[in-house]
Amino acid sequence: MSNLIPKRVKYRKQQRGKMKGNATRGNYVAFGDYGLQSLEVCWVSGRQLEAGRIAAQHFLRRQGKVFIRVFPDKPISKKPLETRMGTGKADVDFWAARIKPGTVLFEIAGVPEDLAKQAFARIANKMPVRCRFVGRRLAV
Amino acid sequence: MSKETPVLVAKKREKLGTRYSRRLRAAGQLPCNLYGHGSAPVAISVEEHATLYALKHGAHVLALKFDDGSTDTVLVKDLQFGFLGDNVIHMDLARVNLDEVVTVKVHLSFIGTPEAAKKPGAIVTHDMPEIEVTCKVRDIPEEIKTDLSHMEGEMLTVGQLKMPAGVTAASDANAAVIRVQFMKEEAAAGEAAAPAAGAAPEVLTAKKEEGADAKK
């Protein structure tokens, strides 16, 4: 299974950081007709995103287009098991996307609403957060 | 405005600020600001349910009826969204004349299926769910309906849309509104371009570190 990682980065490792508040960007459906919105804070790994994409595409059987709205650009390091503390920061274990409440994770275009809901239910099972189904918001 | 303009009962807001706005929302009111036509801006509130109902049905122009009996015709200029990005928490309204020319976004609705979309693996993507149009306030349509069954080729552009009388498109005429895409080829290309599992990204500062080590 191919994994989502950046092509190039400025620094090999990052500090953990904090995720306070709600998403103020990427919090509405922009490309597709329907979206899957996160309701919690988390790191979503590239592997989880890929699992979600595959689950949706297998269900939709190439009927619709699936958009992934987040990208795992944060390196998460992890020390190996049974290792003593110290000796510097550990190697990168996986790459994660920072998710805040309101972030739209996936979008689907070109399918009816009921089919999109079923596809998103399959994606939501692969996500480490509670999610909800959203449509496009009002525009004036 | 093919239907009648929705009439909303508006009240002037005496107390301003976050705390009082929140209380208004809890009481089923929507805080708004009313401005334009040289008059001083006024903070008002309207009934939330009726307003959202009108907006969801494509209304851009509203008629406000105040407690003192005065009325105003207003155009919805902007919406502010709250927590999770889809609940309307504030609205900007501009006073307008019905003969004023304005630019607004109008929802596009589609009927039928394009011929190109009947091929296996084809999907129809809506690149532009709303379109910017320029017209008189009285001519603002609730939505622009387009029949896709006569669509030629794999793309429908803004220039090919049939506009109602008195309405002109303000968006780029060559911009795509609808595209028919074929998923089989695209998925194969996406899988080929994706990096293999376990691959590491190029580190831009890695060379400098090596140079610093050599100096030591």
List, in sequence order, every residue forming a beta bridge with B46; answer none if it has no partner. Answer: B10, B30
pLDDT of residue B205: 86
Among the residue ranges B38-52, B127-141, B192-206, the one predicted with the least confidence is B192-206
Taking a C-beta distance cutoff of 8 angstroms, is the pair A126, A119 a contact?
A: no
pLDDT of residue B118: 79
pLDDT of residue B211: 52
Q: Which class would CATH give B7-96?
A: mainly beta
Please, what is the average pLDDT of chain A?
92
Q: Which residues of A118-140 are buried (b: 16+ CB within 10 A; e: fewer)?
A: ebbebbbebbebebeebebbeeb
Tens of pLDDT, residue by residue over B16-31, are 999 999 999 999 999 9
Q: How confident is the model at residue A29 (pLDDT cuts 50, 70, 90)?
A: very high
Residues 6+ apart with CB under 8 A from B135: B101, B102, B104, B166, B167, B168
ipTM: 0.78
Give B199's contacts in chain A (Cβ within 8 Å). 3, 5
Of B2, B1, B4, B10, the C-alpha closest to B93 is B10
Name the residue with higher pLDDT: A97 or B111.
A97
CA–CA dist A12, B188 (Å, integer): 30
- So where are chain B's domains? 7-96, 103-184
Whether A57 has its CB under 8 Å from any CB of chain B: the answer is yes
Q: Which residues of A72-92 are buried (b: 16+ CB within 10 A; e: fewer)?
A: bbbbbbeeeeeeeeeeeeeeb
Q: Which class would CATH give B103-184?
A: mainly beta
Q: Is the pLDDT of residue B191 over 80?
A: no
Instruction: State the count of interchain CB pairs (< 8 A) between A and B.
Output: 100
CA–CA dist A110, B57 (Å, integer): 22
For testing the chain A interface, which of B102, B133, B183 should be mutated: the one with the most A CBs within 10 Å?
Answer: B183
Highest mean pLDDT among A39-43, B65-69, B129-133: A39-43
pLDDT of residue B192: 47
DSSP designation for B194: S
Highest mean pLDDT among B58-62, B126-130, B146-150: B58-62
